[in-house]
Structure 1
Amino acid sequence: MDWSGDLEYFLEAPIGKYITGPSWLFAYPTAKFSALVFWGRLSGESLEGTLNIHPRVHSGASRPHVALLDARRVEHVDEGGFAIGVNYVRTHRESLSSSISQLAIVHSGGMLGSVAAGFFRLIGAPYQAEVFTDPVEALRWIALDDPQGTLAALDALYTSTTGTTELLRDLRAHLEKNLDDASLAGATRALGISERSLQRRLAESGTSFQKEVVGARVRMAGRALVESSKPLSQIAFDVGCASVQHFSTMFRKVTGMTPMQWRKRGT
Protein backbone atom coordinates (compact mmCIF):
# COMPACT_ATOMS: atom_id res chain seq x y z
CA MET A 1 0.00 0.00 0.00
CA ASP A 2 1.10 3.57 -0.64
CA TRP A 3 1.31 6.19 2.10
CA SER A 4 -0.71 9.33 1.45
CA GLY A 5 0.51 12.53 3.05
CA ASP A 6 -2.37 14.55 1.63
CA LEU A 7 -5.73 14.10 3.33
CA GLU A 8 -7.84 15.39 0.45
CA TYR A 9 -6.07 13.13 -2.03
CA PHE A 10 -6.61 10.18 0.29
CA LEU A 11 -10.31 10.97 0.75
CA GLU A 12 -10.82 11.17 -3.00
CA ALA A 13 -8.94 7.97 -3.90
CA PRO A 14 -8.22 5.86 -0.80
CA ILE A 15 -8.08 2.34 -2.28
CA GLY A 16 -4.60 0.87 -1.93
CA LYS A 17 -3.44 3.73 0.31
CA TYR A 18 -3.12 4.59 3.98
CA ILE A 19 -2.84 7.76 6.05
CA THR A 20 -1.29 8.19 9.49
CA GLY A 21 -1.60 10.26 12.66
CA PRO A 22 0.38 10.43 15.93
CA SER A 23 -1.23 7.29 17.38
CA TRP A 24 -3.24 5.81 14.51
CA LEU A 25 -3.27 4.77 10.87
CA PHE A 26 -6.21 4.29 8.54
CA ALA A 27 -5.80 1.96 5.57
CA TYR A 28 -7.89 0.85 2.60
CA PRO A 29 -6.15 -2.31 1.34
CA THR A 30 -9.01 -3.18 -1.05
CA ALA A 31 -12.37 -1.76 -2.05
CA LYS A 32 -14.03 -4.32 0.22
CA PHE A 33 -12.00 -3.76 3.38
CA SER A 34 -10.74 -0.87 5.52
CA ALA A 35 -8.75 -0.89 8.76
CA LEU A 36 -8.16 1.60 11.57
CA VAL A 37 -5.17 0.80 13.79
CA PHE A 38 -4.55 2.52 17.15
CA TRP A 39 -1.59 2.38 19.56
CA GLY A 40 -0.19 4.04 22.67
CA ARG A 41 -2.11 6.47 24.86
CA LEU A 42 -5.17 7.80 23.05
CA SER A 43 -6.25 11.31 23.97
CA GLY A 44 -8.53 13.88 22.42
CA GLU A 45 -5.47 15.65 21.04
CA SER A 46 -3.88 12.55 19.49
CA LEU A 47 -7.15 11.47 17.88
CA GLU A 48 -8.23 14.86 16.59
CA GLY A 49 -6.96 14.07 13.11
CA THR A 50 -9.36 11.14 12.78
CA LEU A 51 -12.23 13.63 12.75
CA ASN A 52 -11.04 14.77 9.32
CA ILE A 53 -11.56 11.30 7.84
CA HIS A 54 -15.08 12.03 6.70
CA PRO A 55 -17.25 9.02 5.77
CA ARG A 56 -17.07 10.17 2.15
CA VAL A 57 -13.76 8.27 2.14
CA HIS A 58 -15.92 5.16 1.66
CA SER A 59 -17.57 6.47 -1.51
CA GLY A 60 -15.08 4.70 -3.79
CA ALA A 61 -15.36 1.39 -1.95
CA SER A 62 -17.82 -1.44 -2.11
CA ARG A 63 -20.99 -0.47 -0.26
CA PRO A 64 -21.26 -1.84 2.25
CA HIS A 65 -17.78 -3.16 3.04
CA VAL A 66 -16.19 -4.83 6.09
CA ALA A 67 -13.81 -3.13 8.50
CA LEU A 68 -11.31 -3.79 11.29
CA LEU A 69 -10.52 -1.67 14.35
CA ASP A 70 -7.21 -2.89 15.78
CA ALA A 71 -6.64 -1.65 19.36
CA ARG A 72 -4.21 -4.38 20.49
CA ARG A 73 -1.43 -1.87 21.15
CA VAL A 74 -3.50 0.75 22.95
CA GLU A 75 -2.21 1.45 26.46
CA HIS A 76 -4.84 3.92 27.67
CA VAL A 77 -7.85 5.93 26.43
CA ASP A 78 -8.61 9.15 28.25
CA GLU A 79 -11.97 10.89 28.46
CA GLY A 80 -11.24 13.16 25.51
CA GLY A 81 -10.25 10.25 23.27
CA PHE A 82 -13.37 8.29 24.19
CA ALA A 83 -15.56 11.34 23.55
CA ILE A 84 -14.13 11.78 20.05
CA GLY A 85 -15.08 8.21 19.15
CA VAL A 86 -18.59 8.60 20.53
CA ASN A 87 -19.21 11.93 18.78
CA TYR A 88 -17.83 10.67 15.47
CA VAL A 89 -20.17 7.67 15.37
CA ARG A 90 -23.15 9.71 16.51
CA THR A 91 -22.50 12.47 13.96
CA HIS A 92 -22.00 10.12 11.00
CA ARG A 93 -24.29 7.27 12.03
CA GLU A 94 -26.41 7.23 8.86
CA SER A 95 -23.45 7.39 6.49
CA LEU A 96 -21.53 4.73 8.42
CA SER A 97 -24.50 2.35 8.46
CA SER A 98 -24.70 2.44 4.67
CA SER A 99 -20.92 2.14 4.17
CA ILE A 100 -19.97 -0.65 6.62
CA SER A 101 -21.73 -3.97 7.12
CA GLN A 102 -19.43 -5.53 9.76
CA LEU A 103 -16.79 -4.14 12.12
CA ALA A 104 -14.38 -6.46 13.95
CA ILE A 105 -12.78 -4.85 17.03
CA VAL A 106 -9.54 -6.38 18.36
CA HIS A 107 -8.15 -5.54 21.80
CA SER A 108 -5.57 -6.90 24.23
CA GLY A 109 -7.95 -7.68 27.11
CA GLY A 110 -8.21 -6.22 30.59
CA MET A 111 -9.83 -2.86 31.27
CA LEU A 112 -9.27 -1.69 27.69
CA GLY A 113 -11.14 -4.76 26.50
CA SER A 114 -14.08 -3.73 28.64
CA VAL A 115 -13.96 -0.24 27.16
CA ALA A 116 -13.91 -1.66 23.62
CA ALA A 117 -16.74 -4.07 24.35
CA GLY A 118 -18.84 -1.38 26.00
CA PHE A 119 -18.33 1.34 23.39
CA PHE A 120 -21.13 0.36 21.02
CA ARG A 121 -23.33 -0.85 23.85
CA LEU A 122 -23.25 2.75 25.06
CA ILE A 123 -24.16 4.43 21.78
CA GLY A 124 -25.64 1.60 19.69
CA ALA A 125 -23.65 0.25 16.73
CA PRO A 126 -24.69 1.50 13.28
CA TYR A 127 -23.54 -1.86 11.85
CA GLN A 128 -22.85 -5.37 13.08
CA ALA A 129 -19.88 -5.25 15.48
CA GLU A 130 -18.05 -7.99 17.39
CA VAL A 131 -15.11 -7.84 19.82
CA PHE A 132 -12.09 -10.21 19.69
CA THR A 133 -8.70 -10.72 21.31
CA ASP A 134 -7.38 -12.83 18.39
CA PRO A 135 -6.85 -10.68 15.26
CA VAL A 136 -6.91 -13.65 12.89
CA GLU A 137 -10.22 -14.79 14.33
CA ALA A 138 -11.54 -11.25 13.89
CA LEU A 139 -10.52 -11.17 10.23
CA ARG A 140 -12.09 -14.57 9.66
CA TRP A 141 -15.33 -13.28 11.14
CA ILE A 142 -15.51 -10.57 8.48
CA ALA A 143 -14.76 -13.29 5.91
CA LEU A 144 -11.49 -12.02 4.43
CA ASP A 145 -9.87 -14.44 2.00
CA ASP A 146 -6.40 -14.29 3.57
CA PRO A 147 -6.68 -13.21 7.22
CA GLN A 148 -3.08 -14.06 8.14
CA GLY A 149 -1.67 -12.26 5.11
CA THR A 150 -3.89 -9.25 5.78
CA LEU A 151 -2.75 -9.12 9.40
CA ALA A 152 0.90 -9.35 8.36
CA ALA A 153 0.41 -6.45 5.94
CA LEU A 154 -1.26 -4.28 8.59
CA ASP A 155 1.43 -5.14 11.13
CA ALA A 156 4.05 -4.13 8.56
CA LEU A 157 2.35 -0.75 8.13
CA TYR A 158 2.37 -0.28 11.90
CA THR A 159 6.07 -1.20 12.00
CA SER A 160 7.00 1.24 9.22
CA THR A 161 4.90 4.01 10.78
CA THR A 162 6.21 3.67 14.33
CA GLY A 163 9.66 2.23 13.70
CA THR A 164 8.84 -0.78 15.88
CA THR A 165 10.40 -3.92 14.37
CA GLU A 166 8.91 -7.40 14.71
CA LEU A 167 11.80 -8.43 16.98
CA LEU A 168 11.24 -5.44 19.25
CA ARG A 169 7.51 -6.12 19.37
CA ASP A 170 8.13 -9.78 20.29
CA LEU A 171 10.69 -8.83 22.95
CA ARG A 172 8.29 -6.37 24.55
CA ALA A 173 5.51 -8.95 24.61
CA HIS A 174 7.88 -11.49 26.21
CA LEU A 175 9.09 -9.05 28.86
CA GLU A 176 5.58 -8.00 29.82
CA LYS A 177 4.71 -11.65 30.48
CA ASN A 178 7.96 -12.45 32.32
CA LEU A 179 8.82 -9.44 34.45
CA ASP A 180 9.54 -11.72 37.39
CA ASP A 181 12.47 -13.14 35.38
CA ALA A 182 13.35 -10.41 32.90
CA SER A 183 16.79 -11.76 32.01
CA LEU A 184 18.71 -11.41 28.78
CA ALA A 185 19.27 -15.18 28.70
CA GLY A 186 15.56 -15.89 29.13
CA ALA A 187 14.63 -13.43 26.41
CA THR A 188 17.09 -14.84 23.88
CA ARG A 189 15.86 -18.38 24.54
CA ALA A 190 12.26 -17.30 24.00
CA LEU A 191 13.09 -15.37 20.83
CA GLY A 192 15.46 -17.95 19.39
CA ILE A 193 18.36 -15.53 18.94
CA SER A 194 21.82 -15.19 20.45
CA GLU A 195 22.52 -12.60 23.14
CA ARG A 196 25.03 -10.85 20.91
CA SER A 197 22.59 -10.65 17.98
CA LEU A 198 19.77 -9.37 20.17
CA GLN A 199 21.92 -6.64 21.69
CA ARG A 200 23.18 -5.61 18.25
CA ARG A 201 19.70 -5.41 16.75
CA LEU A 202 18.39 -3.49 19.72
CA ALA A 203 21.23 -1.00 19.31
CA GLU A 204 20.30 -0.63 15.63
CA SER A 205 16.77 0.29 16.77
CA GLY A 206 18.13 2.91 19.18
CA THR A 207 17.43 0.99 22.37
CA SER A 208 18.96 -1.61 24.69
CA PHE A 209 17.81 -4.62 26.66
CA GLN A 210 17.88 -2.70 29.94
CA LYS A 211 15.81 0.12 28.43
CA GLU A 212 13.26 -2.40 27.21
CA VAL A 213 13.03 -4.01 30.66
CA VAL A 214 12.39 -0.61 32.23
CA GLY A 215 9.85 0.21 29.52
CA ALA A 216 7.99 -3.06 30.13
CA ARG A 217 7.89 -2.41 33.86
CA VAL A 218 6.53 1.08 33.34
CA ARG A 219 3.91 -0.03 30.81
CA MET A 220 2.63 -2.82 33.05
CA ALA A 221 2.67 -0.56 36.09
CA GLY A 222 0.81 2.15 34.19
CA ARG A 223 -1.95 -0.28 33.30
CA ALA A 224 -2.18 -1.59 36.86
CA LEU A 225 -2.41 1.94 38.25
CA VAL A 226 -5.38 2.73 36.03
CA GLU A 227 -7.10 -0.64 35.91
CA SER A 228 -6.81 -1.66 39.58
CA SER A 229 -6.82 -0.23 43.09
CA LYS A 230 -3.66 -2.11 44.12
CA PRO A 231 -1.35 -0.19 46.47
CA LEU A 232 1.94 1.07 45.05
CA SER A 233 3.88 -1.49 47.09
CA GLN A 234 2.04 -4.36 45.39
CA ILE A 235 2.44 -2.88 41.90
CA ALA A 236 6.13 -2.27 42.52
CA PHE A 237 6.56 -5.91 43.56
CA ASP A 238 4.52 -7.19 40.61
CA VAL A 239 6.70 -5.40 38.05
CA GLY A 240 9.97 -6.48 39.67
CA CYS A 241 11.04 -3.39 41.61
CA ALA A 242 12.85 -3.84 44.92
CA SER A 243 11.11 -0.94 46.67
CA VAL A 244 8.38 1.65 46.24
CA GLN A 245 11.05 4.36 46.11
CA HIS A 246 12.87 2.60 43.28
CA PHE A 247 9.58 2.07 41.47
CA SER A 248 8.45 5.69 41.85
CA THR A 249 11.81 7.07 40.69
CA MET A 250 11.85 4.80 37.63
CA PHE A 251 8.22 5.58 36.75
CA ARG A 252 8.66 9.34 36.99
CA LYS A 253 11.87 9.28 34.96
CA VAL A 254 10.11 7.55 32.07
CA THR A 255 6.65 9.19 32.16
CA GLY A 256 7.33 12.56 33.76
CA MET A 257 4.64 11.81 36.37
CA THR A 258 4.55 10.15 39.74
CA PRO A 259 2.58 6.88 39.94
CA MET A 260 -0.21 8.63 41.85
CA GLN A 261 -0.42 11.43 39.29
CA TRP A 262 -0.70 8.79 36.57
CA ARG A 263 -3.45 6.98 38.49
CA LYS A 264 -5.38 10.20 39.05
CA ARG A 265 -5.10 11.23 35.40
CA GLY A 266 -6.27 7.82 34.16
CA THR A 267 -9.35 7.52 36.35
Structure 2
Amino acid sequence: MEAPSTFETVPDLSAFFGPPARRIVVHRSFAYWQAERRVFGTMIWGRPDEADVDEMCAAHEVGADPLFAGHTSLVDLRAVEAVDLLAFERLLTYLKKRRDAWSPNVAHQAVLHRGGFAHATVAGMFQFLNPGHPVSFTDDPVAAYDAVGASEERPALEALRATLLGAPDVVRRTQTAFDTLPPRSDFTAVARLVGMSVRSLQRRLAEVGSSLRLERQKRMLRASERLLEGTELDLDAIAALVGASSASQLVRLFREHRGTTPGALRKRQRP
Protein backbone atom coordinates (compact mmCIF):
# COMPACT_ATOMS: atom_id res chain seq x y z
CA MET A 1 0.00 0.00 0.00
CA GLU A 2 1.04 3.57 -0.58
CA ALA A 3 1.94 5.03 2.81
CA PRO A 4 3.55 8.23 4.04
CA SER A 5 7.22 7.71 4.79
CA THR A 6 6.70 8.19 8.52
CA PHE A 7 4.78 4.88 8.74
CA GLU A 8 6.28 1.59 7.65
CA THR A 9 3.91 -0.88 6.01
CA VAL A 10 4.53 -4.29 7.57
CA PRO A 11 3.18 -7.68 6.43
CA ASP A 12 1.81 -8.89 9.76
CA LEU A 13 1.24 -8.01 13.40
CA SER A 14 4.41 -9.64 14.70
CA ALA A 15 6.35 -6.54 13.62
CA PHE A 16 4.46 -4.48 16.22
CA PHE A 17 6.48 -6.17 18.95
CA GLY A 18 9.78 -4.89 17.54
CA PRO A 19 11.60 -1.74 18.65
CA PRO A 20 9.33 1.31 19.04
CA ALA A 21 8.43 2.69 15.59
CA ARG A 22 5.57 3.88 13.41
CA ARG A 23 4.07 0.87 11.65
CA ILE A 24 0.87 -0.06 9.85
CA VAL A 25 -0.62 -3.30 8.58
CA VAL A 26 -3.36 -3.09 5.94
CA HIS A 27 -6.19 -5.57 5.41
CA ARG A 28 -9.16 -5.66 3.07
CA SER A 29 -11.45 -3.42 5.11
CA PHE A 30 -9.27 -1.96 7.84
CA ALA A 31 -5.77 -0.84 8.73
CA TYR A 32 -4.13 -1.16 12.15
CA TRP A 33 -1.30 1.18 13.11
CA GLN A 34 1.02 1.98 15.99
CA ALA A 35 2.92 5.14 16.82
CA GLU A 36 5.79 3.65 18.79
CA ARG A 37 4.27 1.90 21.83
CA ARG A 38 2.12 4.77 23.07
CA VAL A 39 -0.72 5.03 20.52
CA PHE A 40 -2.57 2.41 18.50
CA GLY A 41 -5.31 2.98 15.96
CA THR A 42 -7.74 1.25 13.64
CA MET A 43 -9.15 2.72 10.43
CA ILE A 44 -12.21 0.84 9.18
CA TRP A 45 -13.98 1.23 5.85
CA GLY A 46 -16.66 -0.37 3.70
CA ARG A 47 -18.78 -3.19 5.11
CA PRO A 48 -16.50 -5.54 7.09
CA ASP A 49 -17.62 -9.18 7.11
CA GLU A 50 -16.93 -12.00 9.56
CA ALA A 51 -13.52 -12.79 8.08
CA ASP A 52 -12.55 -9.12 8.44
CA VAL A 53 -13.69 -9.16 12.07
CA ASP A 54 -11.47 -12.18 12.79
CA GLU A 55 -8.49 -10.16 11.56
CA MET A 56 -9.57 -7.16 13.67
CA CYS A 57 -9.76 -9.38 16.75
CA ALA A 58 -6.19 -10.53 16.12
CA ALA A 59 -5.14 -6.87 16.00
CA HIS A 60 -6.90 -6.17 19.31
CA GLU A 61 -4.87 -8.96 20.88
CA VAL A 62 -1.73 -6.92 20.19
CA GLY A 63 -3.09 -4.10 22.33
CA ALA A 64 -3.82 -6.54 25.14
CA ASP A 65 -0.16 -7.46 25.51
CA PRO A 66 1.46 -6.13 28.73
CA LEU A 67 4.22 -4.58 26.60
CA PHE A 68 1.75 -1.89 25.58
CA ALA A 69 0.22 -1.10 28.97
CA GLY A 70 -1.00 2.49 29.19
CA HIS A 71 -1.38 3.10 25.46
CA THR A 72 -4.13 5.21 23.92
CA SER A 73 -6.37 4.04 21.08
CA LEU A 74 -8.09 5.72 18.13
CA VAL A 75 -10.93 3.98 16.26
CA ASP A 76 -11.76 5.73 12.97
CA LEU A 77 -15.24 4.78 11.72
CA ARG A 78 -15.71 7.61 9.21
CA ALA A 79 -15.55 5.36 6.14
CA VAL A 80 -17.78 2.55 7.44
CA GLU A 81 -20.62 2.23 4.93
CA ALA A 82 -22.79 -0.45 6.53
CA VAL A 83 -22.88 -2.95 9.38
CA ASP A 84 -22.97 -6.70 8.69
CA LEU A 85 -25.08 -8.03 11.56
CA LEU A 86 -23.29 -11.40 11.79
CA ALA A 87 -19.91 -9.68 11.73
CA PHE A 88 -21.07 -7.16 14.33
CA GLU A 89 -22.29 -9.93 16.63
CA ARG A 90 -18.97 -11.73 16.21
CA LEU A 91 -17.02 -8.60 17.16
CA LEU A 92 -19.25 -7.87 20.13
CA THR A 93 -18.86 -11.43 21.42
CA TYR A 94 -15.08 -11.18 21.18
CA LEU A 95 -14.88 -7.79 22.88
CA LYS A 96 -17.12 -8.88 25.74
CA LYS A 97 -15.04 -12.02 26.25
CA ARG A 98 -11.69 -10.21 26.17
CA ARG A 99 -12.72 -6.88 27.73
CA ASP A 100 -10.92 -7.54 31.00
CA ALA A 101 -7.72 -8.36 29.10
CA TRP A 102 -7.45 -5.32 26.83
CA SER A 103 -9.31 -2.60 28.71
CA PRO A 104 -6.77 -2.25 31.58
CA ASN A 105 -4.05 -1.62 28.96
CA VAL A 106 -5.85 1.42 27.51
CA ALA A 107 -5.42 4.85 29.10
CA HIS A 108 -7.93 6.53 26.79
CA GLN A 109 -9.83 5.62 23.62
CA ALA A 110 -11.33 7.99 21.06
CA VAL A 111 -13.98 6.94 18.53
CA LEU A 112 -14.04 9.12 15.41
CA HIS A 113 -17.32 8.93 13.46
CA ARG A 114 -19.42 10.90 10.97
CA GLY A 115 -22.92 10.10 12.24
CA GLY A 116 -25.58 7.91 10.68
CA PHE A 117 -27.01 4.52 11.57
CA ALA A 118 -23.89 2.42 10.98
CA HIS A 119 -21.76 4.72 13.08
CA ALA A 120 -24.35 4.98 15.83
CA THR A 121 -24.51 1.18 15.98
CA VAL A 122 -20.76 0.73 16.39
CA ALA A 123 -20.42 3.67 18.78
CA GLY A 124 -23.30 2.25 20.83
CA MET A 125 -21.39 -0.99 21.12
CA PHE A 126 -18.65 0.75 23.11
CA GLN A 127 -21.19 2.14 25.54
CA PHE A 128 -22.83 -1.29 25.89
CA LEU A 129 -19.47 -2.90 26.66
CA ASN A 130 -18.87 -0.43 29.48
CA PRO A 131 -15.07 -0.76 29.32
CA GLY A 132 -12.94 0.13 32.32
CA HIS A 133 -11.09 2.87 30.42
CA PRO A 134 -12.45 6.29 29.36
CA VAL A 135 -13.91 6.52 25.84
CA SER A 136 -14.72 9.75 24.00
CA PHE A 137 -16.78 10.16 20.81
CA THR A 138 -16.29 12.90 18.25
CA ASP A 139 -16.81 13.76 14.59
CA ASP A 140 -13.82 16.13 14.63
CA PRO A 141 -10.55 14.49 13.47
CA VAL A 142 -8.39 17.13 15.18
CA ALA A 143 -10.14 16.54 18.50
CA ALA A 144 -9.86 12.76 18.10
CA TYR A 145 -6.11 12.80 17.49
CA ASP A 146 -5.60 15.31 20.29
CA ALA A 147 -7.56 13.09 22.70
CA VAL A 148 -5.14 10.19 22.23
CA GLY A 149 -1.97 12.29 22.08
CA ALA A 150 -1.36 11.69 18.37
CA SER A 151 -1.52 15.24 16.98
CA GLU A 152 1.90 14.88 15.35
CA GLU A 153 0.84 11.71 13.57
CA ARG A 154 -2.41 13.14 12.21
CA PRO A 155 -1.10 14.58 8.89
CA ALA A 156 0.62 11.33 7.92
CA LEU A 157 -2.31 9.16 8.96
CA GLU A 158 -4.88 11.35 7.22
CA ALA A 159 -2.77 11.22 4.05
CA LEU A 160 -2.58 7.45 4.40
CA ARG A 161 -6.34 7.24 4.88
CA ALA A 162 -6.92 9.27 1.72
CA THR A 163 -4.61 6.98 -0.22
CA LEU A 164 -6.26 3.81 1.05
CA LEU A 165 -9.79 5.01 0.37
CA GLY A 166 -8.89 6.53 -2.98
CA ALA A 167 -7.76 3.24 -4.47
CA PRO A 168 -10.28 0.74 -5.92
CA ASP A 169 -10.70 -2.42 -3.87
CA VAL A 170 -8.83 -4.63 -6.34
CA VAL A 171 -5.86 -2.23 -6.27
CA ARG A 172 -5.82 -2.15 -2.44
CA ARG A 173 -5.89 -5.94 -2.31
CA THR A 174 -3.11 -6.25 -4.91
CA GLN A 175 -0.94 -3.70 -3.09
CA THR A 176 -1.47 -5.55 0.17
CA ALA A 177 -0.41 -8.81 -1.50
CA PHE A 178 2.77 -7.24 -2.90
CA ASP A 179 3.59 -5.75 0.52
CA THR A 180 3.02 -9.11 2.22
CA LEU A 181 5.00 -11.35 -0.12
CA PRO A 182 8.80 -11.44 -0.64
CA PRO A 183 9.98 -8.82 -3.17
CA ARG A 184 10.69 -11.25 -6.03
CA SER A 185 7.42 -13.18 -5.76
CA ASP A 186 5.83 -13.95 -9.12
CA PHE A 187 2.41 -12.82 -10.29
CA THR A 188 0.92 -16.25 -9.59
CA ALA A 189 1.70 -15.89 -5.87
CA VAL A 190 0.22 -12.38 -5.82
CA ALA A 191 -2.97 -13.49 -7.59
CA ARG A 192 -3.32 -16.47 -5.26
CA LEU A 193 -3.14 -14.19 -2.21
CA VAL A 194 -5.75 -11.87 -3.73
CA GLY A 195 -7.96 -14.89 -4.43
CA MET A 196 -8.03 -14.80 -8.23
CA SER A 197 -6.26 -16.28 -11.21
CA VAL A 198 -3.53 -14.16 -12.79
CA ARG A 199 -5.70 -13.63 -15.86
CA SER A 200 -8.72 -12.48 -13.82
CA LEU A 201 -6.61 -10.18 -11.69
CA GLN A 202 -4.95 -8.62 -14.73
CA ARG A 203 -8.39 -8.01 -16.25
CA ARG A 204 -9.78 -6.45 -13.05
CA LEU A 205 -6.73 -4.20 -12.71
CA ALA A 206 -6.95 -3.15 -16.37
CA GLU A 207 -10.55 -2.06 -15.76
CA VAL A 208 -9.32 0.53 -13.22
CA GLY A 209 -6.28 1.62 -15.23
CA SER A 210 -3.60 -0.48 -13.54
CA SER A 211 -1.71 -3.75 -14.00
CA LEU A 212 0.34 -6.24 -12.02
CA ARG A 213 3.49 -4.79 -13.57
CA LEU A 214 2.56 -1.27 -12.48
CA GLU A 215 1.62 -2.35 -8.94
CA ARG A 216 4.96 -4.19 -8.64
CA GLN A 217 6.76 -1.02 -9.70
CA LYS A 218 4.83 1.00 -7.10
CA ARG A 219 5.85 -1.50 -4.45
CA MET A 220 9.51 -1.15 -5.45
CA LEU A 221 9.24 2.63 -5.24
CA ARG A 222 7.57 2.59 -1.81
CA ALA A 223 10.15 0.22 -0.37
CA SER A 224 13.03 2.14 -1.97
CA GLU A 225 11.83 5.46 -0.57
CA ARG A 226 11.79 4.04 2.96
CA LEU A 227 15.32 2.66 2.55
CA LEU A 228 16.63 5.88 1.03
CA GLU A 229 15.29 7.85 3.97
CA GLY A 230 16.03 5.41 6.79
CA THR A 231 19.34 3.78 5.83
CA GLU A 232 22.76 4.53 4.37
CA LEU A 233 22.56 1.67 1.87
CA ASP A 234 23.82 2.37 -1.63
CA LEU A 235 21.52 2.02 -4.63
CA ASP A 236 22.79 -1.44 -5.63
CA ALA A 237 21.94 -2.80 -2.18
CA ILE A 238 18.53 -1.12 -2.19
CA ALA A 239 17.76 -2.53 -5.64
CA ALA A 240 18.57 -6.03 -4.42
CA LEU A 241 16.36 -5.66 -1.32
CA VAL A 242 13.29 -4.35 -3.17
CA GLY A 243 13.45 -6.86 -6.01
CA ALA A 244 14.69 -4.58 -8.80
CA SER A 245 16.91 -6.11 -11.44
CA SER A 246 19.53 -3.38 -11.03
CA ALA A 247 20.21 0.10 -9.70
CA SER A 248 19.65 1.37 -13.23
CA GLN A 249 16.11 -0.01 -13.20
CA LEU A 250 15.40 1.90 -9.98
CA VAL A 251 16.72 5.12 -11.49
CA ARG A 252 14.43 4.64 -14.51
CA LEU A 253 11.43 3.97 -12.26
CA PHE A 254 12.06 7.05 -10.13
CA ARG A 255 12.41 9.25 -13.21
CA GLU A 256 9.23 7.81 -14.74
CA HIS A 257 7.00 7.86 -11.64
CA ARG A 258 8.55 10.51 -9.36
CA GLY A 259 10.22 12.85 -11.83
CA THR A 260 13.50 12.66 -9.94
CA THR A 261 16.34 10.25 -9.13
CA PRO A 262 16.96 8.24 -5.96
CA GLY A 263 20.05 10.31 -5.20
CA ALA A 264 18.18 13.59 -5.53
CA LEU A 265 15.37 12.27 -3.36
CA ARG A 266 17.78 11.25 -0.61
CA LYS A 267 19.38 14.70 -0.64
CA ARG A 268 15.98 16.38 -0.26
CA GLN A 269 15.08 14.08 2.63
CA ARG A 270 18.35 14.87 4.38
CA PRO A 271 19.13 18.58 4.02
TM-score bracket relative to the smaller structure:
0.5 to 0.7
**Which amino acid is the alignment partner of residue 101 of structure 2?**
S
- The CA deviation string for residues 202-256 of structure 1, in whole angstroms up to 9 with x for no partner, is xxx749xxxxxxxxxxxxxxxxxxxxxxxxxxxxxxxxxxxxxxxxxxxxxxxxx
Match of 2:54 in 1: 48
**Which amino acid is the alignment partner of residue 82 of structure 1?**
F
Shift of 1:28: 0.3
TM-score by length of 1: 0.54
Question: Which one of the candidate residues 132, 135, 148 is aligned to 2:138?
Answer: 132
CA contact (8 A) 2:13 2:62 kept: no
Quote the Cα distance in structure 1 between the aligned partners of 2:64 and 2:157.
19
Seq. identity, %: 23
CA contact (8 A) 1:24 1:37 kept: yes
- The CA deviation string for residues 12-70 of structure 1, in whole angstroms up to 9 with x for no partner, is 56742111110000000122111110011122133221222253455475521111000
Matched, 1:113 2:116: no
Question: Which one of the candidate residues 2, 11, 25 is aligned to 2:31?
Answer: 25
**Which amino acid is the alignment partner of residue 157 of structure 2?**
L
**Which amino acid is the alignment partner of residue 29 of structure 2?**
S
Matched, 1:158 2:164: no
Match of 1:123 in 2: 129
Provide the aligned C-alpha RMSD in A.
2.9
Shift of 1:140: 2.1
CA contact (8 A) 2:138 2:144 kept: yes
**Which amino acid is the alignment partner of residue 99 of structure 1?**
N
Shift of 1:95: 2.0
Quote the Cα distance in structure 1 between the aligned partners of 2:21 and 2:86.
30
Quote the Cα distance in structure 1 between the aligned partners of 2:20 and 2:58.
14
CA contact (8 A) 1:23 1:47 kept: no
CA contact (8 A) 2:44 2:77 kept: yes
- After the TM superposition, which parts of structure 1 deviate over 6 Å for at least 4 consecutive aligned residues? none
| Local SS of the residue matching 2:94 | helix
After TM superposition, the structure 1 stretch with the greater mean CA deviation from structure 2, 151-160 or 131-140, is 151-160
| Local SS of the residue matching 2:82 | strand
CA contact (8 A) 1:15 1:61 kept: no
**Structure 1: unaligned runs, 5 residues or longer:** 166-204, 208-267
Quote the Cα distance in structure 1 between the aligned partners of 2:135 and 2:127.
10
Alignment of 1:179-258 (within 5 A): 206=209
Match of 1:89 in 2: 95
Match of 1:263 in 2: none
CA contact (8 A) 2:10 2:23 kept: yes
Quote the Cα distance in structure 1 between the aligned partners of 2:21 and 2:66.
8
Match of 1:184 in 2: none
CA contact (8 A) 2:63 2:105 kept: no
**Which amino acid is the alignment partner of residue 155 of structure 2?**
A
Quote the Cα distance in structure 1 between the aligned partners of 2:98 and 2:18.
18
- The CA deviation string for residues 59-109 of structure 1, in whole angstroms up to 9 with x for no partner, is 475521111000101101111221232123222212212211111001111
| Local SS of the residue matching 2:69 | coil
Give the 3 Å change call, closer, same or farther, for CA 164–14 of structure 1 in structure 2: farther
- When the two structures are aligned, how many residues end up with a matched partner? 167
Quote the Cα distance in structure 2 between the aligned partners of 1:82 and 1:9.
27
**Which amino acid is the alignment partner of residue 131 of structure 1?**
F
Quote the Cα distance in structure 2 between the aligned partners of 1:85 and 1:11.
24
Q: Relative contact order: is structure 1 or structure 2 higher (C-alpha 8 Å, sep ≥ 6)?
A: 2
**Which amino acid is the alignment partner of residue 92 of structure 2?**
V
